[in-house]
């Protein structure tokens, strides 16, 4: 069971609010992994074996599995089952960004919460409450709603002023409106790390919820800054690191097929993140 209290307890116990993004790209894998029958799973398994004591969540990015067709979907399921087997207290977040009308959202909820056994799924808010509500009907599961993302075109729509209120950008409206549908126990928000000032503003009008924060590392955000502006008394943060962690061996120019496992570099990278987190916890 992965409810709010358990998540906070787990963060305190592990001294980590790290989420590891499994954006596992077949074309990026070491050649000895590519040759295995289930390369995405094999890669993920070694990452998980080397990092599960250092993180509180894994976040498989659905696109990378769907790109490989049926085999990708099989390996997504294998990955999730393996995480649950290794440590059932680790949150599994399907980074799927789904969003559709009620009867369709119900089927997505079934796909992610039942068929795949995930604890959380990322959702797009554009279509409003209908598209989120079916997910909120599941006990001890989370809907993680896009608010302010870290990509460069986020400003095209997310920061537009709405409702003729100068202090009401769309992402704020999304957060305030979503808080009418659920609460901190079943909703989190995606808030990018790249704009610390915005994180501070959002924390002011949304004090209790967890934020899933991408954009640390490659995109320029830092753990120190995110913690300074985004942390609350129950931590309230999951910082996600994907490519810079899972492909850490590339930075070390290490031969990924050498006897020293590529995932060892991922572990070192994860340890560095956790050390920074422990400074602020």
Q: Which residues contact 10 (CB under 8 A, 6 or more apart)?
A: 56, 89, 90
User: Of 72 and 256, which CB lies nearer to a second copy in the complex structure?
Assistant: 72
CB 98 within 8 A of CB 105: yes
CB 147 within 8 A of CB 189: yes
Nearest to 143 by CA among 129, 153, 156: 129
Buried b (16+ CB within 10 A) or exposed e, 204-234: eebeebbbbbbbbbeeebebebbbebbbeeb
Q: With CB under 8 A as the contact rule, which of the stretches 72-80, 193-201, 229-237, 246-254 interacts with a second copy?
A: 72-80
Q: Is 34 an annotated catalytic residue?
A: no
Q: With CB under 8 A as the contact rule, which of the stretches 6-14, 31-39, 119-127, 266-274 interacts with a second copy?
A: 119-127
CB-CB neighbours of 154 under 10 Å: 17
Helix axes 69-86, 39-51, angle to 10 degrees: 20
- By CB under 8 A, the count of residues binding a second copy is 60
Which residues inside 78-117 make contact with a second copy, applying CB under 8 A? 95, 97-108, 110-111, 114-116
User: Of 14 and 98, which CB lies nearer to a second copy in the complex structure?
Assistant: 98
Place of tokens 């610390």: 196
Q: With CB under 8 A as the contact rule, which of the stretches 40-48, 154-162, 199-207, 220-228 interacts with a second copy?
A: 154-162
Q: With CB under 8 A as the contact rule, which of the stretches 31-39, 47-55, 69-77, 249-257 interacts with a second copy?
A: 69-77
Distance between CA atoms of residues 65 and 30, nearest Å: 17
Q: Is 224 in the site for a second copy (CB under 8 A)?
A: no
CB 212 within 8 A of CB 191: yes
Question: Which of 42, 79, 131, 266 forms a contact with a second copy (CB under 8 A)?
Answer: 131
Q: Is 77 in the site for a second copy (CB under 8 A)?
A: yes
Distance between CA atoms of residues 58 and 90, nearest Å: 7
Q: Is 34 in the site for a second copy (CB under 8 A)?
A: no
Q: Look at residue 158 and give its three-state secondary structure.
A: coil
Report the nearest approach of a second copy to the CB of residue 97 (Å).
5
Which residues inside 38-67 make contact with a second copy, applying CB under 8 A? 61, 63-64, 66-67
Give me the catalytic one of 84, 97, 184, 250.
97
User: Of 103 and 197, which CB lies nearer to a second copy in the complex structure?
Assistant: 103
Which residues inside 160-179 make contact with a second copy, applying CB under 8 A? 160-164, 170, 173-174, 177
| Distance, C-alpha 130 to centroid of its chain | 23
Report the nearest approach of a second copy to the CB of residue 162 (Å).
4
Place of tokens 């967890």: 210
Which residues in this chain contact a second copy in the complex, by CB under 8 A? 23, 25, 61, 63-64, 66-70, 72-74, 77, 95, 97-108, 110-111, 114-116, 124-131, 146, 149-158, 160-164, 170, 173-174, 177
Active-site residues, by number, are 97
């Amino acid at each position: 069971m992965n409810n709010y209290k358990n998540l906070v307890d787990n963060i305190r116990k592990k001294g980590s609010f790290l989420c590891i993004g499994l954006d596992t790209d077949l074309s990026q894998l070491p050649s000895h992994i590519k040759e295995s029958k289930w390369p995405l799973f094999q890669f993920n398994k070694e990452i998980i074996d080397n990092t599960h004591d250092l993180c509180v969540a894994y976040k498989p990015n659905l696109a990378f599995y769907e790109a490989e067709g049926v085999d990708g979907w099989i390996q997504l399921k294998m990955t999730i089952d393996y995480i649950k087997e290794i440590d059932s207290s680790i949150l599994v977040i399907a980074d799927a960004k789904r969003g559709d009308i009620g009867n369709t959202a119900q089927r997505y909820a079934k796909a992610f919460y039942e068929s795949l056994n995930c604890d959380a799924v990322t959702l797009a808010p554009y279509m409003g409450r209908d598209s989120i509500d079916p997910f909120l009907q599941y006990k001890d599961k989370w809907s993680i709603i896009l608010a302010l993302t870290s990509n460069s075109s986020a400003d095209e729509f997310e920061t537009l002023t709405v409702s003729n209120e100068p202090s009401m950008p769309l992402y704020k409206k999304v957060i305030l409106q979503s808080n009418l549908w659920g609460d901190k126990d079943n909703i989190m928000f995606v808030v990018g790390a790249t704009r610390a000032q915005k994180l501070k503003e959002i924390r002011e009008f949304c004090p209790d919820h967890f934020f899933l924060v991408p954009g640390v590392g490659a995109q320029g955000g830092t753990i120190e800054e995110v913690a300074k502006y985004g942390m609350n008394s129950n931590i309230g943060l999951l910082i996600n690191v994907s490519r810079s962690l899972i492909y850490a061996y590339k930075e070390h120019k290490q031969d990924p097929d050498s006897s020293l496992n590529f995932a060892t570099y991922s572990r070192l990278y994860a340890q560095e993140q956790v050390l920074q987190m422990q400074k602020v916890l």
